[in-house]
């Protein structure tokens, strides 16, 4: 039953039980509206702790869905899609290699890996680091992947000046004939 302003009229005897349900529903609606309208978002990614990044790097290096590197090739990034498939492949690798025991991997990291839409693995040989970040949301994964590719391109977009490639003077065209020859 609705009143003139569009509010639901609650009979007196049932006000307490329906009011609580209505409040929960209202909170859900507000949260859904914020999500739809681009309001505050929850971070859906998780930085994975050692030894996962190194293990994931070996998988990504062999079979990444996409990869990029900077011009100097000292920073490399790879995209692995489908965290459940990656977790399965990683389980097989751990069983074969036996370099890492399954118990050494953080349980929350393993759960995040299995639930992930994808993982971005990054190796920086200058800093001797390998990092891996699991993303539970496809949009966040793709946005971060595009940002990673753009970052690696822009860090090397300016080419170094090489000696001997320049010409003297303001013009790079042919020199005009000299009168004294």
Condensed to tens digits (0 to 9), the pLDDT of residues 137-146 reads: 999 999 999 9
pLDDT of residue 21: 38
Note whether residue 54 is domain-resident.
yes
Low-confidence ranges of the chain (pLDDT < 70): 1-42, 155-176, 180-181
Residues contacting 3, CB < 8 A, separation 6+: 9
Note whether residue 10 is domain-resident.
no
Residues contacting 108, CB < 8 A, separation 6+: 46
Indicate the DSSP class of residue 73: S
Q: Which helix (H) or strand (E) holds 135?
A: strand 129-135
The range of the structural domain enclosing residue 74 comes to 45-154
Q: Are 53 and 112 in contact (CB under 8 A)?
A: no
Note whether residue 120 is domain-resident.
yes
Strand order in the sheet with 118-124: 45-47, 129-135, 118-124, 75-81, 66-69
pLDDT of residue 100: 84
Domain tally for the chain?
A: 1
As a whole number of Å, the end-to-end CA separation of the chain is 104
Note whether residue 29 is domain-resident.
no
Note whether residue 34 is domain-resident.
no
pLDDT of residue 128: 94
For the record, the structure tokens of 29 come out as 């609606």
């Amino acid at each position: 039953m609705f009143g003139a302003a569009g509010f639901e009229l609650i009979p007196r005897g049932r006000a307490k039980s329906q009011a609580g349900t209505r409040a929960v529903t209202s909170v859900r609606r507000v949260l859904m509206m914020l999500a739809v309208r681009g309001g505050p978002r929850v971070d859906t990614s998780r930085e994975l702790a050692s030894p996962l990044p190194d293990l994931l790097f070996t998988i990504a290096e062999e079979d990444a869905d996409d990869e990029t590197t900077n011009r100097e090739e000292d920073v490399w990034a790879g995209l692995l899609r489908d965290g459940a498939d990656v977790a399965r492949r990683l389980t097989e690798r751990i069983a074969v290699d036996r370099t890492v025991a399954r118990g050494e991997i953080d349980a929350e990291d393993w759960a995040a890996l299995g639930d992930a839409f994808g993982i971005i693995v990054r190796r920086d040989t200058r800093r001797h680091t390998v990092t891996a970040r699991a993303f539970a949301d496809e949009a966040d994964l793709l946005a971060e992947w595009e940002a990673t590719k753009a970052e690696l391109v822009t860090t090397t977009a300016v080419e170094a000046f090489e000696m001997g490639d320049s010409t003297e003077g303001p013009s790079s065209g042919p020199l005009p004939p000299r009168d004294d020859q």
